[in-house]
Amino acid sequence: MKIGQTALRALAASISLAACSNPVTPEQTEAKLKAATAEALGEVNADVIAISNQKGSMSRWVWEAKANGKTYACDADNFFRLPSCQQADQSTSLASEGGSQ
């Protein structure tokens, strides 16, 4: 019984510490989305990218990006890895479709 109680206390302590970690700010998230977009597009500087309609889940992020007069539907995993952006039709947006094209 002692081992079970010790394991339970260790689990509770881990959860408590995780809950106290610093949350990611909206500015940090936007910077990560801009960097992911620049990575996916290749020759676009993150400074010229505008991010909108970002939605994050436990497994992935989806967002719209505008750069150099073009709109892109983008997505990446929840760690902003493996980003992908496709040029969006001007009449279509992530907000209306709920995901990337």
How, if at all, do strands 84-87 and 70-77 pair?
antiparallel
The answer to whether the beta carbons of residues 66 and 74 sit under 8 Å apart is no
**pTM (predicted TM-score):** 0.68
Whole-number pLDDT of residue 24: 87
Whole-number pLDDT of residue 10: 63
- Please check the confidence at residue 80 and state whether its pLDDT lies above 80: yes
Rounded CA separation 21/75 (Å)? 26
Q: Where are the domains of the chain?
A: 24-97
pLDDT one-digit tens code per residue, 16-74: 544 556 788 999 999 999 999 999 999 899 999 999 999 999 999 999 999 999 999 99
Whole-number pLDDT of residue 83: 97
Rounded CA separation 74/33 (Å)? 9
Whole-number pLDDT of residue 101: 42
